[in-house]
Amino acid sequence: MKFWVGITDSDWFKLCSEANADEVNFWQPSGAVHFRALEPGGLFLFKLHSPDDFIVGGGFFVRFTFLPASLAWEAFGSKNGVSSLDDLVRRVHKYRRGDTNANPTIGCSILTEPFYLTRDQWIPMPKSWGKSIVRGKTYDTAESDGLALFNQIRDRLRVQQGFHGDMPILETANVAQYGAEYLTKARLGQGAFRVLVTDAYQRRCAITGERTLPALDAAHIRPYAKNGPHHVSNGLLLRSDWHRLYDEGYITVTPDLRVEVSQRIRQEFENGRDYYAQHGTALKFVPKASWERPSREHLDWHNQNVYKS
């Protein structure tokens, strides 16, 4: 099994670990270099900058994407390892010298179920770690250094989380369950949900086709507060006004993926012409992958419990 060791700074780790963040954005300043070292569910470890050559924690890879800094902050807040959007932009400019863009695009590796090692648990880097590495390195449990590092992580988590036998979260067989299967079972956070839904709909509103990213929201079909999961099949990417109407029950999407607009808009607001123009139309865009498409069960729930027919 292959896993990744990525380099980060102590401030990022300190803020995330002290908050015990349940998901993190392990961002990179480049808005052009893709990350392809892992599939969803892969183990992603945190190493501090030299001279602190230690593994200090890790998490499980969900998705890599490019986002404007403002949207990364909106989705993850302090789980970006910074205290504010201004701080995020300052740090990006620190690495991208000469860049004055007030809203730079950054690379975002989204990780779920992160874990943080205490100082006495930090793991020294193996000798195979090169001093010239600036971004990270892939290790493999089929090789001695990779297996030793993996076993040390598993042993520390077993102690930290009180396991005495097998540890389901970090068994090789489980970590190797890559792809869609992992994303339908993982405990995802709100930020990961937003990124996955946004990418599944290729950054287009499902109803209108709008592609202005700051105007688009990842809407839960069944609200999280009503036992709706943070899974793509419980999401729709909607323009913000349609999202608000959807949450308040003035519109719905039927199980056959058609838009319905309630007469209550006209009755209550004496308006709604642009919304009624979409009544009865099929969604303009739905994800191609079957596991990402809106769940019939969740759509039924919204129709029956939220929609003001």
Q: CA 266 to CA 264: how far, in whole Å?
A: 5
pLDDT in tens, 240-288: 999 999 999 999 999 999 999 999 999 999 999 999 999 999 999 999 9
173 pLDDT tier (thresholds 50, 70, 90):
very low
Give the CATH number of domain 2-184; options: 2.30.130.30, 2.30.30.190, 1.10.3330.10, 3.20.20.70: 2.30.130.30
Highest mean pLDDT among 27-36, 172-181, 229-238: 229-238
Domain boundaries, the chain: 2-184, 202-305
Query: Is residue 169's pLDDT more than 70?
Result: no
Mean per-residue pLDDT, 31-39: 91
Q: What is the pLDDT of residues 77-127, one digit of tens each?
A: 999 999 999 999 999 999 998 888 999 999 999 999 999 999 999 999 998
Please check whether residue 158 is in contact with residue 116, taking contact to mean a CB–CB distance below 8 angstroms.
Answer: no
Q: Residue 74: pLDDT above 50?
A: yes
The whole-chain average pLDDT of the chain stands at: 92
Q: In this model, does residue 172 exceed pLDDT 80?
A: no
Mean pLDDT of 57-70: 96
Q: Are strands 43-48 and 2-8 parallel, antiparallel or unpaired?
A: parallel
Task: Please determine, for residue 187, whether its predicted confidence score (pLDDT) is greater than 50.
Answer: yes
Long-range contacts of 73-78 (CB under 8 A, 24+ apart): 75/25, 75/190, 75/191, 75/194, 75/195, 76/23, 76/24, 76/25, 76/191, 78/15, 78/16, 78/19, 78/21
What percentage of the chain has pLDDT greater than the value 70?
94
| Mean pLDDT, residues 21-37 taken together | 94
* pTM, 2 dp: 0.91
3-state secondary structure of 62: strand
pLDDT confidence bin for 177, thresholds 50/70/90: low
- For residue 232, count other CB atoms closer than 10 A to its CB: 28
pLDDT, residue 127, reads 87
